[in-house]
Structure 1
Amino acid sequence: MRENVALLALLYPPTGRGLSPADLRRRFAEGELPSDVLQHPAEGTLLEVDVTEALDAAARELEVWEAEGIIVLTPFDDNYPTQMRSVFDYPLAIYARGEVRSDRLSAAIVGSREVSDTGLKFASELASLLSEDTITVVSGLARGVDGSAHRAALAAGGRTVAVLGNGLRHVYPSEHRALQDQIAETGLVISQFRPEARPNRQTFPQRNITMSAYSSITVIAEASEKSGTRIQANAAIKHARPLVLTSQVVRDTTWGATYAGGGYDVTVVNSATEAQQAVREILSRAQHAARWLTRA
């Protein structure tokens, strides 16, 4: 708790400007704790704030959020998602509603908002199949592919996680309010943005990067050349996460074709059943590697 409060004070000081996430990650990697950084900010930074004032303000905010049922997770919590610790750009704070689990066996199903019937069917079928395999379905609560994947996972009795591009006090799109509430009741809704934050053009690309970090695999059901899912595809490659693309994505986008033919860990599929098999094989491979490392 103490380090969480100190980290929030670093991120959102009442006066001045906090250190950048990259600077904080670097100092944490060097062994410093948030309380250490707060007491000894680097010379020349803009962290011009009374430490006691910053800690008191952060503690008050944390108390308000927790009273609303919002769980605040940082890398200094034992239940911070372990898969996110392995990426270089992990979120320094996550705000959540629902049941926090490791979700190491998970796959993000993402795609265009303006999706074809074929894309919707693929997302729905794959989410159902993965739920039957007790694999967590992760998506971004957007219209189109995301909503289809969430609803199918819920209908199949599976676990689904929604990663938002806004704070938890808001719903976007507004017609997904009931869906967001249902996911929070039976699965998990998370955001890297403060609860009061509204969505904008910058938050959705950041959301896609976080979704890649949270998920063991990213599956892109359907996309156009300028689809935001290309950001998640790029993030998955940088995070060393396997990527599954439908043949439509490879055929109709230059970035899909580049990733499929570029020597990356990319699998191209033609159906939801093929995608299910690819996810099974990738997760089985990862579990085998983890057991081997444990024995070593």
Structure 2
Amino acid sequence: MAQLDDEDERAILLALLEARPSRMTWPQIASEVTLRGSASALWDEAFPPMLDGVNDAEGLIAQSRTRLAEWAESDFELLTVLDPDYPLALREIHQIPPFLFIRGKLNCEELAVSVVGSRDASARGVDIAGRIAQGLVERGISVLSGLAAGIDTAAHTAALKVGGRPIGVIGTGIKGVYPAANRSLHLDVAKAGALISQFWPDAPPRKQNFPMRNATMSGLGRVSIVVEAGENSGARIQARVAVEHGRPVILTDLVVAATDWAKALIGRPGVYQAGGIVEAMDIVDQVTSASSDDFSWPSLTDLASR
């Protein structure tokens, strides 16, 4: 395939996601494209060129070009793994999303911490989430959460109240709002920080979207703080995948007392139990005090002895 411009490469990436050659997953496609530095190279390997040019019998590349043209007129931005501004932190995880749709502004080297937990939060959990979010803002750290009800809403609301920078990673397309009651919060988060989706713009909330969303939040954040959660909470998924990513996890006493999965994580490298807000923020301070040049997503077990 001849040398292509950025928009051609983007169109071919989207076409690959539709075609899924050899039944590759989206993260596998994203990784292979990143490895080659080109979507067209992977396309030509999967669909060897014809004598008269590109092998695209189903017209997927042309359809993708039409999509890109439509999105260019929308109120959101498309960022792909081919773009230099794609977040560096997400390039480190094997669940790497091939693209992100963004309202607002996402900085590729942004320092962010996830604050997550139960949708059915207690008054104490809501208070803790808000105070942790405020502490992060005071330290110049962006507040990551999923814009769900409960803990997520409390964290983002508190961050906005004190003039912080929220980052919302949602489980629908960028045009969607879930839950519907958080429509105004979506708008406020996009205005003050960034609203992010890794799904097609019109995608509805599907059960399988939320674990994928949690993996992306873990990847984007330096630390995941689980404030309050149940046995089957999505926060449980984020805690486990964060351990897999080598990101530190902070579990409050609320979570450890209430769930078997949190008890099982205690003692794993990089997992901490915080007896209060001060202790949680002290761990955050220790983790984020490492310079960006020296930090390589360690387990940080040595911090426990400090």
Taking structure 2 as the reference length, the TM-score comes to 0.87
Deviating 4+ runs (over 6 angstroms): 15-18
Aligned to 1:285, the other structure's residue is in SS state coil
Aligned to 2:155, the other structure's residue is in SS state helix
Q: 1:22 to 1:203 in 2, by over 3 A?
A: closer
Q: Distance in 2 between matches of 1:16 and 1:285?
A: 41
Aligned to 1:193, the other structure's residue is in SS state coil
Partner of residue 87, structure 2: 81
Partner of residue 163, structure 2: 157
Give 2:285's match in structure 1, choosing from 269, 280, 286.
280
Q: Distance in 2 between matches of 1:53 and 1:174?
A: 36
Deviation at 1:289, TM superposition (A): 2.0
Partner of residue 301, structure 2: none
What number of residue pairs does the alignment pair up? 285
1:20 aligned partner, one-letter code: T
Q: Distance in 1 between matches of 2:259 and 2:22?
A: 40
Runs (5+) with no aligned partner, structure 2 = 1-5, 49-54, 297-306
Partner of residue 64, structure 1: 70
Structure 1 position 24 matched with structure 2 position 49: no
Aligned to 2:59, the other structure's residue is in SS state helix
Q: 1:205 to 1:213 in 2, by over 3 A?
A: same
Deviation at 1:36, TM superposition (A): 1.2
RMSD: 2.3
Q: 1:54 to 1:95 in 2, by over 3 A?
A: same
Give 1:34's match in structure 2, choosing from 24, 31, 39.
39
Deviation at 1:66, TM superposition (A): 2.3
Aligned to 2:46, the other structure's residue is in SS state coil
Structure 1 position 218 matched with structure 2 position 224: yes
Give 2:271's match in structure 1, choosing from 259, 266, 269.
266
- The superposition leaves residues 240-288 of structure 1 with CA deviations (integer Å, 9 ceiling, x where unpaired) of 10101101212221111111123x1012112222212211111113547
Q: Distance in 2 between matches of 1:257 and 1:101?
A: 35
Partner of residue 179, structure 1: 185
Q: 1:34 to 1:288 in 2, by over 3 A?
A: closer
Structure 1 position 96 matched with structure 2 position 88: no
Partner of residue 253, structure 2: 247
Partner of residue 119, structure 2: 113
Report the more deviating stretch, 29-38 or 98-107. Answer: 29-38
Are the equivalent residues in 1 in contact too, given 2:31–2:96 (CA < 8 A)? no
Taking structure 1 as the reference length, the TM-score comes to 0.90
Deviation at 1:16, TM superposition (A): 9.1
Partner of residue 46, structure 1: none
Partner of residue 196, structure 1: 202
Runs (5+) with no aligned partner, structure 1 = 44-48, 292-296
Q: 1:157 to 1:226 in 2, by over 3 A?
A: same
Aligned to 2:113, the other structure's residue is in SS state strand
Are the equivalent residues in 1 in contact too, given 2:9–2:40 (CA < 8 A)? yes
Q: How does 1:229-240 map to 2 (within 5 A)?
A: 229-240=235-246
Q: Distance in 1 between matches of 2:60 and 2:233?
A: 40
Q: Distance in 2 between matches of 1:21 and 1:11?
A: 6
Q: Distance in 2 between matches of 1:150 and 1:279?
A: 18
Q: 1:290 to 1:209 in 2, by over 3 A?
A: closer
Q: Distance in 1 between matches of 2:124 and 2:16?
A: 46
Deviation at 1:53, TM superposition (A): 2.4
Deviation at 1:225, TM superposition (A): 1.4
2:146 aligned partner, one-letter code: G
- The superposition leaves residues 32-65 of structure 1 with CA deviations (integer Å, 9 ceiling, x where unpaired) of 621112222079xxxxx72682222111111212
Give 1:206's match in structure 2, choosing from 199, 204, 212.
212
Q: How does 1:122-133 map to 2 (within 5 A)?
A: 122-133=128-139
Q: 1:114 to 1:103 in 2, by over 3 A?
A: farther
Q: Distance in 1 between matches of 2:294 and 2:192?
A: 31
Q: Distance in 1 between matches of 2:22 and 2:71?
A: 22
Are the equivalent residues in 2 in contact too, given 1:8–1:58 (CA < 8 A)? yes
Are the equivalent residues in 2 in contact too, given 1:10–1:18 (CA < 8 A)? no
Q: 1:193 to 1:25 in 2, by over 3 A?
A: closer
Q: 1:23 to 1:107 in 2, by over 3 A?
A: closer
